[in-house]
Amino acid sequence: MFASPRPGHYALYGVFDGHGGDEASKFVSGSLPAMLAKNKHLEVNPKKALELAFQYTDRAFAREHFRNSTAGSTVIVLLVVENDEGNTLYVANAGDCRAIVGTKNGETKPMSTDHNPLDPKEYKRITDAGGRVIVESYTHPTRGEVSTGRVDGILSVARGIGDLGLKPYVSSIPDVRSTPTDDLEWALVACDGLWDVFSIEEAAEAVRLGLSTGTPPEMIVKGLCDEAVMLRDSTDNVTAMLVQF
């Protein structure tokens, strides 16, 4: 999927990686933008508006499904805010999707952190709330032995929207980071199916090579996704988006 910011006050891009079916990811993709657009904090405090939009969307999903759904979705969104003080990129993440940005001087910067149940902060939050984190190990075709933590032995991410049976252990509160866009050339956002088999450096190199040779952005991300599945044996679904500044 490809998107480029257009002149205007806001531009929003997102990847919604569902599990347990597509019920939650479809709901979030339709509801979260509306929740954000009508939030009274958006003009003066985009970070707070994003945090609240995630939580309000989670609550709306719970109300609509009366806690009967087992579906959930990790969520990452990129919000570009244009104002008189300059343009700013906000990245809000709940789960294990990732965003990276490339600067005009060739640097690569991560804009998100995975919410892994084995992360000490997430582990403490889950167990303090009465939940459990069960550790599992498996052999990946290309990565070898891999250990993963699962909330109550079920879910391998600590944050997201939905997963109603795992509340309050699975939090919908996102981490939000921001950076001015003046020095940015591009942003790449993708679900864990890509990052399971690509390092940040490898993905950034592929983006830079593609842009330097005039490859259309949509073909760059198609190439990344195809390589992840066909050559690197990603065992998960793969979605990626490239935004140019």
pLDDT at 203 over 70: yes
Residue-level length of the chain: 245
CATH at 80: 3.60.40.10
pLDDT in tens, 9-29: 899 999 999 999 999 999 999
pTM, to two decimals = 0.91
147 falls within a domain: no
167 falls within a domain: no
Q: Residue 235 is part of which domain span?
A: 2-113+172-244
Q: Are 78 and 89 in contact (CB under 8 A)?
A: yes
182 falls within a domain: yes
Give the number of domains in the chain.
1
Q: Which residues make beta-bridge pairs with 177?
A: 91
160 falls within a domain: no
118 falls within a domain: no
96 falls within a domain: yes
Token pair belonging to 16 = 């919604």
> In this prediction, what percent of the chain has a pLDDT beyond 70?
94
105 falls within a domain: yes
- Of 35, 220, 188, 228, nearest in space to 97 by CA: 188
Distance, in Å, from the CA atom of 205 to the CA atom of 223, rounded to the nearest integer, reads: 13
138 falls within a domain: no
pLDDT at 5 over 80: no
Is residue 6 packed enough to be buried (19+ CB in 10 Å), middle (13-18) or exposed (0-12)?
exposed
